Amino acid sequence: MPPTVSRILLLAALVFAGAAAANEAVIRKVLEPKLGGAKIEGVQPGPVPGLWEVRVRTDSGVQLLYTDPAGAYLIDGTIHDLRSDRNLTEDRMRRLNAIKFESLPLDQAVKIQRGSGKRVLAMFSDPYCPYCQQFEQTLQKVDDITVYVFMYPVIRPQNADHSKAVWCSPDRAKAWLDLAIQHKRPAAIASCDNPVEKNLELGRALRVNSTPTLILVNGERVAGGMGAADLQQMLDLAGKQAAVKK
């Protein structure tokens, strides 16, 4: 590349960086006093030209907002790319909230495996959560899967002993599925050492605010369930991405 062209590109990059820094400073100055005490963690160009992404830390975790370069308008919502049928905000949130799968204390989870178990995920779930019960039905349609269930009784905390009884059962996987799908309480007594309280602490530390919350092997987390076909595709992609990182 000729020296003159190199200098022009370098100058353009410096100008862009300077403009971006100026916009970020303006946005922080204008918006932060109006966010009710929430702290702005980062500002950067958004996925749509002219929009800026604002990452805000709240009591419930990271939230994404969007604004114009002057901070005059604030958008609280999601951005969909209709060409690719993707929720860009959701994709971004998964990356921001990613955690290391290998850091999870899997010995505190009920392990359920079908087939080869090559598709792997961890899940924070409450047996009395209607969405969790529905998602358990979906999981039955996915083959070759391993699910690590962190029992997270937050919907009906007064029934936490039912989750503890699952852990005390001879076949924990069967006891969990009977409770979550068949609404059949375990016969075991909740008197053994169990990780339910530790799971509640873990969930709070990871800011798990809804059930089910899925954690994929590539570190991405997904709040809520989905259809079997979408789940299988997501698990296969996550598995490939995790393998590349190793």
Residue 128 has pLDDT above 80, yes or no: yes
What pLDDT is attached to residue 106? 97
Residue 17 has pLDDT above 80, yes or no: no
**Alpha-carbon distances, residue 9 vs 2, 4, 19, 22, 49 (angstroms):** 11, 9, 15, 20, 21
Query: Which tens digit of pLDDT belongs to each residue from 203-231?
Result: 999 989 889 999 999 999 888 889 999 99
Pairing relationship of beta strands 61-67 and 52-58 according to DSSP bridges:
antiparallel
3-state helix, strand, coil in the chain (%, to 5): 45, 20, 35
Angstrom distance (rounded) from CA 134 to CA 3: 63
Mean pLDDT of the chain: 88
Report phi then psi at 225, rounded to 5. -95, -170
Ramachandran quadrant class, 224 (left: phi over 0; alpha: psi -120 to 50; beta: rest): left
Give the confidence band of 60 by pLDDT, cuts at 50, 70, 90.
Answer: low
Angstrom distance (rounded) from CA 29 to CA 33: 7
Please tell me which residue, 10 or 144, carries the higher pLDDT value. 144
- Can you name the residues that pair with 120 across neighbouring β-strands? 146
**What single letter denotes the amino acid at residue 24?**
E
